Amino acid sequence: MRGNKVCGIAVVVDRELVPQNDDRATARDNELTRMLEMIRHRGDADHFGERGSGAGFSMGTNRLAIVDRTHAAQPLSDEAGQVWLVFSGELYGFRDIRQELEQLGHTFRTDSDTEVVLRSYLEWGIPFLRKLNGMFAFVICDSRDGSFLAVRDHVGIKPLYYQLQDGVYRFASEQKCLLNHPALIRPVPPGTYVQNGEEVRYFELDEPQVSTTSSAASRRYRELFEAAVRKQVDTDLPLAVPFSGGIDSAAVLQAARRYHHDVTAFTVGFEGAADVEVARRYCEDFGVKQHIVYLKPSDLIDIIPRIVHGAELFEVVDIIDACTQFLVYQAVRRRGIKVAICGDGADEVLAGYDLFKTHADPVGLMKYRVGNLHRTDLQRVDRSSMLNSVEARVPFLDRHLLEFAYSLPMDLKIRDGVEKWVLREAMRDRLPAYIVDRPKIRMPDGSGIKNVVIDHARQHVDVDDRVARGLGITSTEGAYFLDIFLKAGFPPPTERFKRPVDDYAPNGYFEFIS
């Protein structure tokens, strides 16, 4: 059985509070409860507020129990109760690390990947981070020396934020947990750990440099991709795949069905939309279980305030996509499924957007887009799924696959005007031609949403746009979404998270082709 999945964590570290002060400790525990209440949706109702504390710290979780559902409660400590851990996410290939630790004399009490993290820290200290592959955020409090360690995965799939005020550090899975304090809220950057207040990068992607033939590259890409999917579908629970009919989600769907016995495709869109029709055709052709969510404009418009607050987003493109994805994951959970595997991340590293074809520096654009995922697309995936208590996994961003794809030269990503060329060739004998050769269609176009959300936002011409103009946001819809974001209590952003030319066409968000 795989390890449990904790999807909401909160930690308060008062480093001045040694030895323990009962009144301060009680106040800290009460604050922890409030923080966890703000992210109750990130776990099962039966596993709300699991907690532990020691001299100078309190930590807790809202656990979304996926597997090892009985024995892997958190926080987890060593036998002496000196080192404590809360962990959100999943490690891939953790059994190899576990075996290595067992050979070194460690005895395990659970089957969870969480305990592998704890014992790796006890055995190797911070260098153990180089061994990890997965999606995760975790915090360790070490009473032996009064230190703490907060870590985020290589590309920022799982969220982690922190702030420092009056000597007290607070960590949480979402920003809203930290809004009661005026201190600056910072994200732990991807591939970074924070130790006693210092941010240190432990993971970097190398410059594109691999020299390989086209056929060798496509073979190796498929090997790594299918290995990533195989690891990520290792669960005894039913599995959902959000399926648009595009090559990314189709590749995930066919591989997931290869390695898991109970997979359902979920498709969302307006009646007659291109994505819906292609996805239905594929599922009928290959006998795939499919659930289609047909939309109407009010479905999207009615949830905008909830999405802005829940997803903690203000950029127009992100909110449109988050509204749509929220409805997909809502359908997933209503069908009793709480594990999904999705196709996000391929476009950024494999030059999947038209912008790459005309950009002056496509390699630089790739670096920017991959580096920006943690606060845009990955934040959208995390929040839209977690608002429905669903865990979404992203095999295209598996560390080993990402490292290989990142290193490939651009002419293996765009060839003869065809984007994601290496992926298309890798899937050519796995998927039908109408999928492999289908051009990239942005989600609002393919699903038929088009300007439904934007047209609604443009009706709100009376919002205060002073902060928006200071950020360079000049559109009515941009000011509207930012206004909702600020009224939800979030601090004013200091910069844009999406920018013209690098994230969307300078003359508009999308050029519809369907």
Q: Where are the domains of the chain?
A: 5-201, 214-450, 458-491
HSE of 279 in the Cβ direction (CA atoms, 13 Å)?
Answer: 31
pLDDT digits (tens, 9 = 90+) for 56-106: 899 999 987 665 555 567 899 999 999 999 999 999 989 999 999 999 999
Query: Would you write out the chain's pLDDT as a tens digit for each of its 514 residues?
Result: 444 455 899 999 987 655 556 777 788 889 999 999 999 999 877 777 788 888 889 999 998 766 555 556 789 999 999 999 999 999 998 999 999 999 999 999 988 899 999 999 999 999 999 999 999 999 999 999 999 999 999 999 999 999 999 999 999 999 999 999 999 999 999 999 999 889 999 999 987 777 789 999 999 999 999 999 999 999 899 999 999 999 999 999 999 999 999 999 999 999 999 999 999 999 999 999 999 999 999 999 999 999 999 999 999 999 999 999 999 999 999 999 999 999 999 999 999 999 999 999 999 999 999 999 999 999 999 999 999 999 999 999 999 999 999 999 999 999 999 999 999 999 999 999 999 999 988 888 889 888 899 999 999 989 999 999 999 999 999 999 999 999 999 999 999 999 888 998 765 555 555 4
44 is in an annotated binding site: no
Indicate if 7 belongs to the active site. yes
**Beta-sheet pairing, 339-341 with 391-393:** parallel
268 is in an annotated binding site: yes
CB atoms within 10 A of CB 29: 14
Q: Check the CA dihedral 40-253-367-152 and report its sign.
A: positive
Q: Which numeric CATH code is attached to 5-201?
A: 3.60.20.10
Q: Which numeric CATH code is attached to 214-450?
A: 3.40.50.620
pTM comes to 0.95
CA-to-CA distance for 427 and 250, rounded, in angstroms?
A: 9
Please list the residues that pair with 53 across neighbouring strands. 58
pLDDT digits (tens, 9 = 90+) for 147-196: 999 999 999 999 999 999 999 999 999 999 999 999 999 999 999 999 98
Peptide bond into 305 cis (omega under 30): no
Per-state percent for the chain, helix, strand, coil, to nearest 5:
40, 20, 40
Give residue 259's Cα distance to chain centre: 22
15 Cβ partners below 8 Å, 6+ apart? 56, 146, 148, 167, 168, 169, 196
470 φ/ψ sector (left φ>0, alpha ψ -120 to 50, else beta)? alpha
